[in-house]
Amino acid sequence: MAVRLMNSPAALLCAAFLLFFYTTLVRAGDWQTLHTEHFRVHYTPAQQDWARSAAVELELVRTLVLQQQGRALDSIADVVVFDPINGANGFALPSTDTPLMALFTTPPNPIQ
């Protein structure tokens, strides 16, 4: 039963949010949200420049995907910009009713 539960989209979403809250609530700050036509970008003041740049890029990429593939998300996607563990990349959870992306602001370290 536990294996099936961990494979469900709801369990993955819960795990992602637990990771998010574990790493950020301890040092929770003044979270802000930048609204674009198709995205809500959530960030802390320390990540403001990165979040603004990401918001522009997200809209550009969405437009290109729509032009090239003829498809796009039907709903507004939430994007969380943060740097929880100085880790690279991020993750996306497309299998929810409201898509969610998390973008980590630290670039990859090839030495690790």
Interval 56-96: pLDDT, tens = 999 999 999 999 999 988 889 999 887 766 555 566 666 66
Q: What is the pLDDT of residue 26?
A: 43
Half-sphere exposure (CA, 13 Å, Cβ side) for 91? 12
Question: The pTM is what?
Answer: 0.58
Least confident of 20-24, 30-34, 62-66, 73-77: 20-24
- Listed by start position, the domains of the chain span 2-104
Report whether pLDDT(4) > 60: no
Backbone angles phi, psi at 92, to 5 degrees: -135, 145
Read off the pLDDT band of 2 (50, 70, 90): very low
**Domain 2-104, what fold?**
Zincin-like (3.30.2010)
